[in-house]
Chain A
Amino acid sequence: MYEFAYHRPNSIRKASSLSASGEAKFLAGGQTLLPTMKQRLASPDALIDLAGIEALQGIELKGRTLHIGAMSRHADVASSAVVREAIPALAALAGDIGDPHVRAMGTIGGSIANNDPAADYPAACLGLGATIVTNKRRISADDFFTDMFETALEEGEIITKVLFPLPRRSAYAKFDNPASRYALVGVFVSKRGRDVRVAVTGAGPCVFRVAAMEDALSKRFAAKSLDGISVAAGDLNSDIHASADYRAHLVGVMARRAVAAA
């Protein structure tokens, strides 16, 4: 790693103002950022550690909305009685990210700010119709994930929490890469009233929804409703782990499994 300065502010305001100078980066759980810096693929001149900011912590249910603080670790979300009761599929997703030691450090805010194309949390946010709250505004998940490793966040903008409306049914089905445990393909489905969402991670350059599946499921929420619906392989990723055709096939399989489990 190249040298950098380290700051540990105790407020969002201080963190934001520290980011105004030079090439600073926010440090959440560091499970992606620190390996990236070790490889010298990132070389910020300062790290602003968000772990000392009380306002980014906490998980609570307010009415029919689950509030998860941006610095909540995956292990906290997975083991939270509140999350397990309110949205069990979200707790299960968090408990299957990486490995136990990564889950003890990695955070929901860090994961979605990074927007890795194979990360799990983007699928949950998009699949549940979450709202991402920052120190400046509220952004719907539909507008937040813009491209590979890119989001709607602006310079100095800090995610403070994520709001999840409670679904009536939801589930996440992941076909994970056996080496990295990232999603080769992961599909998050949810149903809330007539609103059905199908969000796919791992398959393309950025998490996306499948309108044809959502339409079919909103008529009848059953795995069988997905028969004959496929996604085009043309826009999907091809790499040493899987071809685009294989990923397209997996989207159908994982979507059916998720609907059956929801």
Chain B
Amino acid sequence: MPKVTMTVNGKAASADVEPRTLLVDFLRQHLRLTGTHVGCDTSQCGACVVHVNGRAIKACTSLAVQWDGASVTTIEGLASGDALHPMQEAFREHHGLQCGFCTPGMIMAAVDLVNRHGGVPDEATIRRELEGNMCRCTGYHNIVKAIGAGASAMQGSGKVAAE
């Protein structure tokens, strides 16, 4: 079996995996980082979004072996110790979750969209950017609010380049 080595949330991680092991299964089953969720497993729902080499991708539609040598950030890697990332804090503050299943993917997608757009994106941009993230509690309204607030807080905290 091929051996893959990645930097996951700042730490070196390595394992022997079958080529068919999905990145999300490598994170959840080999590294026990179960914050990244599997919702639809068909690259539609976005619960599995993680950052790889600074870009948000769907970890259910990518193989672990494709990312030998890559740097991966998951929801577990956003907070600094006990201090939540500003985007996590904004989701809590604005009640941007109900059941919470989609939340890890929403937050990883939100941080990525702020990194790409810079500044504080307007509501239309945020809604368009959430194209690939589904919330089945229909909580989008507060999620959009939380992302706007999180984007503002990221400007203040210098968290934009945190990865």
A interface with B by C-beta (< 8 Å): 1-6, 8, 27, 30-31, 34-35, 38, 47, 49, 51, 75, 98-102, 104-105, 181
Whether A4 contacts B43 in the complex (CB less than 8 A), given A100-B131, A101-B57, A181-B131, comes out as no
Judge whether A5 and B19 touch: CB under 8 Å.
Answer: yes
Question: B54-77 CB contact bits vs A (8 Å, 1 = yes)?
Answer: 011110011101100000000000
B interface with A by C-beta (< 8 Å): 2, 18-20, 41-43, 46, 49, 55-58, 61-63, 65-66, 109, 112-113, 116, 129, 131-133
23 A-B residue contacts at CB 8 Å? A1-B20, A3-B20, A4-B20, A6-B19, A6-B63, A6-B65, A8-B65, A30-B61, A30-B62, A30-B66, A31-B43, A34-B61, A34-B62, A35-B43, A38-B42, A100-B129, A101-B43, A101-B56, A101-B132, A102-B43, A102-B61, A102-B132, A181-B131
Compute how far the CA of A221 lies from the CA of B19 in the bound complex, rounded to whole angstroms: 52
Compute how far the CA of A165 lies from the CA of B109 in the bound complex, rounded to whole angstroms: 35
Q: Indicate which residue in B19, B112, B132 contacts A47 across the interface (CB closer than 8 Å).
A: B19
5 additional contacts (CB under 8 A) given A4-B19, A35-B43, A100-B132: A31-B43, A34-B61, A34-B62, A99-B131, A104-B57
* Shortest beta-carbon contacts, A-B, top 6: A99-B132, A6-B19, A99-B131, A1-B20, A104-B55, A101-B58
Whether A38 contacts B132 in the complex (CB less than 8 A), given A31-B61, A101-B46, A102-B58, comes out as no
Which residues in B have their C-beta under 8 angstroms from that of A2? Answer: 20
Q: Indicate which residue in A5, A38, A105, A181 contacts B57 across the interface (CB closer than 8 Å).
A: A105
Compute how far the CA of A208 lies from the CA of B46 in the bound complex, rounded to whole angstroms: 33
Which residues in B have their C-beta under 8 angstroms from that of A104? Answer: 55-57
Judge whether B42 and A35 touch: CB under 8 Å.
Answer: yes
Tell me how far the C-beta of A34 lies from the nearest C-beta in chain B, rounded to whole angstroms: 5
Closest to B108 in A: A101
Judge whether A100 and B63 touch: CB under 8 Å.
Answer: no
Judge whether B20 and A75 touch: CB under 8 Å.
Answer: no
Compute how far the CA of A69 lies from the CA of B63 in the bound complex, rounded to whole angstroms: 22
Compute how far the CA of A55 lies from the CA of B78 in the bound complex, rounded to whole angstroms: 35
Closest to A46 in B: B19
Judge whether A51 and B66 touch: CB under 8 Å.
Answer: yes
Judge whether B63 and A30 touch: CB under 8 Å.
Answer: yes
Which residues in A have their C-beta under 8 angstroms from that of B57? Answer: 101, 104-105
Judge whether A100 and B2 touch: CB under 8 Å.
Answer: no
Judge whether B66 and A49 touch: CB under 8 Å.
Answer: yes
Compute how far the CA of A6 lies from the CA of B132 in the bound complex, rounded to whole angstroms: 28
Judge whether B132 and A98 touch: CB under 8 Å.
Answer: yes
Tell me how far the C-beta of A166 lies from the nearest C-beta in chain B, rounded to whole angstroms: 27
Compute how far the CA of A189 lies from the CA of B6 in the bound complex, rounded to whole angstroms: 44
Which residues in A have their C-beta under 8 angstroms from that of B43? Answer: 31, 35, 101-102
Which residues in A have their C-beta under 8 angstroms from that of B20? Answer: 1-4
Judge whether B61 and A35 touch: CB under 8 Å.
Answer: yes
Closest to B132 in A: A99
Compute how far the CA of A181 lies from the CA of B43 in the bound complex, rounded to whole angstroms: 13
Q: Indicate which residue in B42, B56, B61 contacts A100 across the interface (CB closer than 8 Å).
A: B56
Tell me how far the C-beta of B12 lies from the nearest C-beta in chain A, rounded to whole angstroms: 20
Compute how far the CA of A169 lies from the CA of B43 in the bound complex, rounded to whole angstroms: 35
Compute how far the CA of A49 lies from the CA of B4 in the bound complex, rounded to whole angstroms: 15
Compute how far the CA of A3 lies from the CA of B17 in the bound complex, rounded to whole angstroms: 12
Which residues in A have their C-beta under 8 angstroms from that of B55? Answer: 75, 104
Judge whether B113 and A100 touch: CB under 8 Å.
Answer: yes
Compute how far the CA of A51 lies from the CA of B65 in the bound complex, rounded to whole angstroms: 12
Tell me how far the C-beta of B127 lies from the nearest C-beta in chain A, rounded to whole angstroms: 12
Compute how far the CA of A99 lies from the CA of B132 in the bound complex, rounded to whole angstroms: 5
Which residues in A have their C-beta under 8 angstroms from that of B18? Answer: 3
Closest to B52 in A: A104
